[in-house]
Amino acid sequence: MLDRSVIQSRGFRNVTEGGRVTGFRFQLRNPNYRGVSGSLLDGVEVVVDGERVPDHVPLWTLQGRTLTLDELRASTDVRWQLDELATITVPKPGGLAAGVHQLDVVVFLRRPYFPPMVNRTTFTASATPVLVPPVPGGGLKFGVSTYSYTADIYTLMTMEDVLADIADMGATGVEILGEGNIPGYPTPDAGWVDHWRTLLDRYSLTATNYGSWVDTEMWHDRSLTAEEGAAQIQQDLRLASRLGFTSVRPKFGVTSWDLDPHPIWQESVERSLELAAELDVVICPEIHAPTPIKHPVTQAYVDFIERTGSDHFKLLVDTGIFNTAPVLELSEEIQVDDDEEVPMHLRPLAVPIADLVEVLPHVHFIQAKFATVDDDLHDLHVPWREIIPALQDAGWSGWLSSEYEGRRDPYRGGDQVRRSHALMRSIAAERS
Amino acid sequence: MLDRSVIQSRGFRNVTEGGRVTGFRFQLRNPNYRGVSGSLLDGVEVVVDGERVPDHVPLWTLQGRTLTLDELRASTDVRWQLDELATITVPKPGGLAAGVHQLDVVVFLRRPYFPPMVNRTTFTASATPVLVPPVPGGGLKFGVSTYSYTADIYTLMTMEDVLADIADMGATGVEILGEGNIPGYPTPDAGWVDHWRTLLDRYSLTATNYGSWVDTEMWHDRSLTAEEGAAQIQQDLRLASRLGFTSVRPKFGVTSWDLDPHPIWQESVERSLELAAELDVVICPEIHAPTPIKHPVTQAYVDFIERTGSDHFKLLVDTGIFNTAPVLELSEEIQVDDDEEVPMHLRPLAVPIADLVEVLPHVHFIQAKFATVDDDLHDLHVPWREIIPALQDAGWSGWLSSEYEGRRDPYRGGDQVRRSHALMRSIAAERS
């Protein structure tokens, strides 16, 4: 699907020619209700961060051909279809800086079926697209969780659109939710599995972590047994492996405000370690607020690693535990009854980064959870300027998988993930 | 694609069992970020027009199976996937009246990975869906133009979604815009043509009218010749016929505020009449504001019919000419430069219905153009209570093809078309 906004979120980037940055480009969907011949297009005025570029200057790329306005006016065999995008290239030596920009455009289009005096019609559009800098050198890998696109997947975006979006921002890893993103879960048909593999290839993405659940209170009258828990984990390990993922995060039911996992967890995981080793998929329990790192729950995971000696059981850290300010925008996913107090998991834990460094040898994956990155690329809650240098200093080389969890306004997830990547990469680039 | 709203616009209708209306039903998308086992669903409270139905009462239909809440809680093999809809059936003898309703729901879902005291979580959603009555008996046929979905097609809805929407409201005809809705226009690939034919079958829709353009001022330095105009018409006639359409509306460039068509129109059409007859596709010029029926432009079309004796050239009437009030909400499609006066085509023409009756023998198709039908099914501009009885009295039996042209808010087109059909059918039913 195309973005409903005329200015598309994908395709906004600097243009390099002969080793120099000569301008920037972006993509527009046709703002009209019909497709038209290129000769009816009559220019596009672009105002970027207040700087105006006259309507005859930008180049148009339509159906694979790049044309000046004069060439477009004289053209006989190029069209702007309703379901195809135009790429607009704007000359600007040095291009644009990484971050959020204000972009306003006016598209001029002649419509001969309007009275001659008014047939040069205008379509205006504005957006604040994000220019994401390239991935810096060093061991950190930058991915995205499809959870970021909650409520947009299947409504505004297909799974392919989500992968295209992740690739468009230069991320190379994709994390999914097994029960969210696999049609026909737990038994997708072979066609879908092939489609998934094809998409990974097409967008040059690595399948990273696969989120799963062990719903210990699946029924009202009894809890799952350890055997049932193991069967659930093993089902997801097999499916994850079939889809190319290298870790599975099972989310167990909990028994307390501290998120103590249901006691079956140890036996369920232990019964699954052999399969995990066989498939070479790492089982990763998630360290998630309100459970900090120095806490019996986390310690039990570390003890389990040491006791079993398994290298297929490691930690997954959700960066929400480092929040230094409360996330006040309750998303629809974390609503509770009005008469409940604000749940503990929303209070900022502010776990010291030194605690992370201590367990880092056991950490397989980092969910770069965040709620808001503002227009100046400032995260309102997570102290990335402490986290990222600490990971670099420790020589940690794993995935930082952006996981947006904030207001679910249409298209906000993709936009926020771009900001998150721009922010994290900018910090990482300072030392790489 | 699913509607982004949790309460879907499609699927809202009364339920008939054993010849009696026993309730109503609607569809929900999963408001959560993951799919879940049916046993984790914990009821849905429904408030319709202020009347509350407790959470244990509605029935759930998931994956083709209909279950009570108790059955759902005990279930082991049914899921609410993220990409699948649940149908909620609410008992209510007599059902709901035709028209717009206020629908509020609260979905309860247990999440074992939340602390036990708060793991029965809630998701609220509200909507004002439209219950569309069945098509009444009589000669009038009710269709929809895809133009109604401008800005939603390719962004929020695929072409299939649009056809599904049209079929869902019980309409049986679909009108398209050739240059808007045919990927690869003017030469769609054979696969798309097959797909189109399959969709018409799947949704039991008849292809009605095909909108085309003859852009006489395609280039800056010269107008099209009559030969080029004829080639354009013939290209569209052939394509329309291939897709099953029975009429083509060519929109010529105009030369005046009165929308006088470019003088090539007569020769271009005349050169195409033989092909039109061969394909049995009727060429229909559009009578569109600000051109009324008693006007030299319309008279020239009638003269043409009489002179050529062709039965493959007839009139298409856009009901915007009957507006009795100005359409004040300028849509993005009809913007003009700020310094231009409001164009004449926005002023209400209030053409007398008697003028329509007079030319009705020449009228092949009616575009039921409208801009706003309010919550009480009152059209703010078009006098349907005069138009529809006049058509019935005259025994006219053709298509009324709803063409929404108003604010392009997301999903508004489909909603307004439902209102338009509910309104037109209710009036028609009074005499049928």
Q: Following DSSP, what letter does each residue of B31-82 receive, concatenated?
A: -SSS-EEGGGEEEEEEEETTEEE-TTSSEEEETTEEE-HHHHHH-SS-EE-T
As a whole number, the mean pLDDT across chain B is 95
Question: Considering only alpha carbons, which residue of chain A is nearest residue B333?
Answer: A32
- Shared domain check, B95 and B68: yes
Alpha-carbon gap: A122 to the closest alpha carbon of chain B (Å): 7
d(CA A299, CA A310): 16
Same domain, A269 and A412: yes
Residue B413 pLDDT greater than 90, yes or no:
yes
Q: State the count of interchain CB pairs (< 8 A) between A and B.
A: 195
Tell which of A113, A131, A149 closes a domain.
A131
B409: closest chain A residue by CA: A4
Q: Would you call A399 an interface residue with chain B, using a CB distance cutoff of 8 Å?
A: no
Q: Rounded to whole angstroms, how far apart are CA atoms B105 and B348?
A: 41
CATH number at residue B315: 3.20.20.150
What value does the mean pLDDT take over residues B150-157?
Answer: 98
Q: Search chain B and give the residue with CA nearest A32.
A: B333
**pLDDT reported for residue B22:** 98
Handedness of CA A318, A319, A323, A328 (dihedral sign): negative
Cα distance between residue B276 and residue B314, in whole Å = 12
Query: pLDDT by residue (tens digit) across A115-173?
Result: 888 899 999 999 999 999 999 999 999 999 999 999 999 999 999 999 999 999 999 99
* Chain centre to alpha carbon of residue A45: 31
Per-residue pLDDT, averaged over B112-141, amounts to 95
| Tokens standing for residue A231 | 């069967």
Cβ-defined contact of A156 to B184 (cutoff 8 Å): no
- In this structure, what token pair is assigned to residue A368? 């770069």
For residues A91 and A205, membership in a common domain is answered with no
Angle, CA of A37, A39 and A40, to the nearest 5°: 75
Q: Residue B37: closest CA among chain A residues belongs to which residue?
A: A218
**Which chain B residues are Cβ-neighbours of A180 within 8 angstroms?**
33-35, 82
Sequence-distant (6+) residues with CB within 8 A of A342 are none
In a domain, A265, yes or no: yes
Residues B106 and B225 in one domain: no
Closest partner residue to A183 (CB to CB) among B33, B81, B185 is: B81
- B288 is annotated as an active-site residue: yes
| Cα A83 from chain centre | 25
What one-character DSSP code corresponds to residue A146? G
The answer to whether A4 contacts B123, with C-beta atoms less than 8 Å apart, is no
Q: Could you tell me if residue B8 is left (phi over 0), alpha (psi between -120 and 50 degrees) or otherwise beta?
A: beta
Residue numbers of A annotated as active site: 288
Judge if the upstream peptide bond of residue B290 is cis by omega within 30 degrees of 0: yes
At residue B339 the predicted structure's pLDDT band, cuts being 50, 70 and 90, is: very low
Residue B4 in any domain: the answer is no
Looking at the partner chain, which of B35, B337, B343 has a beta carbon nearest the beta carbon of A180? B35
Closest among B125, B138, B180 to B2, alpha carbons compared: B125
> Which chain B residue's Cα is nearest to A339?
B118
State whether A168 and A81 are in the same domain: no
Closest Cα in chain B, distance from residue A3 (Å) = 6
User: Chain B contacts of A268, Cβ < 8 Å?
Assistant: none
Residue with tokens 């959020």: A100
Residue A99 is part of which domain span?
A: 13-131
pLDDT surpassing 50 at residue B118: yes
Look at B217 and A35 and tell me if their CB atoms are within 8 Å.
no
The two tokens of residue B349 are 């023409």
End-to-end C-alpha distance for chain B, whole angstroms: 37
Q: Clarify whether residues B94 and B181 are in a common domain.
A: no
What is residue A62's predicted lDDT score, i.e. its pLDDT? 98
**Residue of A298 and B117 predicted with greater confidence:** A298
Specify the DSSP class assigned to residue A52: E
Dig out the tokens for B102 from the structure. 């206020």
Distance from CA of B298 to the nearest CA of A (A): 16
Are A123 and A155 within one domain? no
Low-confidence ranges of chain A (pLDDT < 70): 329-346
CA-to-CA dists, residue B163 to B5, B84, B174, B399, angstroms: 19, 19, 8, 17
User: Considering only residues 99 to 128 of chain B, which have any Cβ-Cβ distance to chain A shorter than 8 Å?
Assistant: 110, 112-119, 121-124
Interface test with A, best of B34, B124, B291, B341 (most A CBs within 10 A): B34
Q: Which DSSP category does B262 fall into?
A: P
Residues in B touching A31 (Cβ below 8 Å)? 332
pLDDT tens by residue, B286-321: 999 989 999 999 999 999 999 999 999 999 999 999
Q: Which of B45, B292, B11, B38 is nearest to B168 (CA)?
A: B11
Give the one of B37, B185, B332 whose C-beta lies nearest to A31's C-beta. Answer: B332
Residues B200 and B330 in one domain: yes
pLDDT value of residue B258:
81
Instruction: Spell out which residues of chain B touch residue A34, defining contact as CB-CB under 8 Å.
Output: 177, 179-180, 211, 213
Cis peptide before B115 (omega within 30 of 0): no
Residue of A nearest to B343 (CA): A118
Measured CA to CA, the distance from residue A318 to residue B413 in angstroms comes to 42
Per the domain annotation, does A136 fall within a domain? no
Mutate to test the interface with B, among A34, A39, A109, A187 (most CBs of B within 10 A): A34
Of B123, B183, B333, the CB nearest to A81: B183
Do B122 and A335 lie within an 8 Å CB cutoff? Answer: yes
Instruction: Report pLDDT for B431.
Output: 85
Residue range B350-377: mean pLDDT, rounded: 98
| pLDDT for residue B331 | 45
- Interface residue of B71, B108, B113, B318 to substitute, partner A, most A CBs within 10 Å: B113
Same domain, B293 and B406: yes
Distance between CA atoms of A266 and A253, rounded to whole angstroms?
13
User: Nearest CB to A343: which of B3, B79, B118?
Assistant: B118
Asked if pLDDT for residue B337 goes beyond 70, the answer is: no
- Note the pLDDT tens digit of each residue in B241-277: 999 999 999 999 999 988 899 999 999 999 999 999 9
Residues B308 and B187 in one domain: yes
Domain for residue B8, yes or no?
no
Q: With an 8 Å Cβ cutoff, are A112 and B4 in contact?
A: no
* Pick from B428, B418, B422: nearest CA to B149: B418
Partners of residue B83 in chain A, C-beta under 8 Å: 154, 183
ipTM exceeding 0.90, yes/no: yes
Q: Which of residues 403-432 of B touch A (CB under 8 A)?
A: 410
Closest chain B C-alpha to A4 CA, distance in angstroms: 5
What is the rounded distance in angstroms from the CA atom of residue A150 to the CA atom of residue B32?
8
Cβ-defined contact of A113 to B256 (cutoff 8 Å): no
* Secondary structure of B126-195 as H, E, C letters: EECCEECCCCCCCCCEEEEEHHHHCCCECCCECHHHHHHHHHHCCCCEEEEEHHHHCCCCCCCCHHHHHH
Distance, CA of B43 to chain centre? 34
Domain closes at, from B96, B131, B166? B131
Q: Domain check: are A298 and A187 in the same one?
A: yes
Question: At B411, which amino acid appears?
Answer: Y
Q: For residue B398, give the 3-state DSSP assignment.
A: coil
The answer to whether residue A5 sits within a structural domain is no
Q: What tokens were used for A327?
A: 């996330």
Residue B23, min C-alpha distance to chain A (Å): 28
Q: Which residues in chain A are contacts of B152 at CB distance < 8 A?
A: 4
Which residues of B are less than 8 Å from A124 in CB distance? Answer: 335
Residues 2-61 of B with CB under 8 A from A: 2-4, 29, 31-37, 39-40
Q: Provide the number of structural domains found in chain A.
A: 2
Q: Which residues of chain B have a CB within 8 Å of the CB of A236?
A: none
For A46, residues 6+ apart whose C-beta sits below 8 A from its C-beta are A52, A53, A57, A58, A88, A90, A103, A104, A105
Domain limit, last residue, from B100, B131, B162: B131
pLDDT of residue B53: 98
pLDDT interval class at B330 (50, 70, 90): low
Residue A406 C-alpha, separation from nearest chain B C-alpha, in angstroms: 13
Give the residue from chain B lying closest to A289, CA to CA. Answer: B114
Q: Does B290 touch chain A (CB under 8 A)?
A: no
Strands (E), A49-119: 51-53, 59-62, 65-67, 79-80, 85-91, 99-100, 103-110
* pLDDT tens per residue, range A387-415: 999 999 999 999 999 999 999 999 999 99
Which chain A positions have a beta carbon within 8 Å of B187's beta carbon?
A: none
Q: What is the pLDDT of residue B344?
A: 59
**B342 confidence band (pLDDT: 50, 70, 90):** low
Q: Is residue A1 part of a domain?
A: no
Tell me, what's the pLDDT at B257? 85
Find how far residue B179's CA is from the centre of its chain: 18
Dist CA B342 CA A166 (whole Å): 44
**Tens-digit pLDDT profile for residues B273-293:** 999 999 999 999 999 998 999
Catalytic residue among B262, B288, B312, B381: B288
Q: What is the Cα–Cα distance from A391 to A397, expressed in whole angstroms?
A: 8
Find the mean pLDDT for residues B123-140: 96
Query: Are B126 and B146 members of one domain?
Result: no
CA–CA gap between residue A89 and residue A28 (Å, rounded): 11
Nearest to B155 among A2, A73, A114 (CB): A2
Instruction: Decide if B112 and A340 are in contact by the 8 Å CB cutoff.
Output: no
Contacts of B35 in chain A (CB under 8 A): 179-180, 185
A200 in any annotated domain: yes
Residue A16 has phi, psi (to 5 degrees) of: -110, 130
- Report the pLDDT value the prediction gives residue B343, as an integer from 0 to 100: 60
Report d(CA B176, CA B210) in Å as an integer: 5
How buried is A321 (Cβ within 10 angstroms: 0-12 exposed, 13-18 middle, 19+ buried)?
A: buried
Q: What would the mean pLDDT of B206-211 be, rounded to a whole number?
A: 98
- Specify whether the CB–CB gap between B384 and B427 falls below 8 A: yes
* Residue B6 covered by a domain: no
The answer, for B180 touching chain A at a CB cutoff of 8 Å, is yes
pLDDT given for residue B332 in this prediction: 47
Which residues in chain A have their CB less than 8 angstroms from residue B74's CB?
A: 219
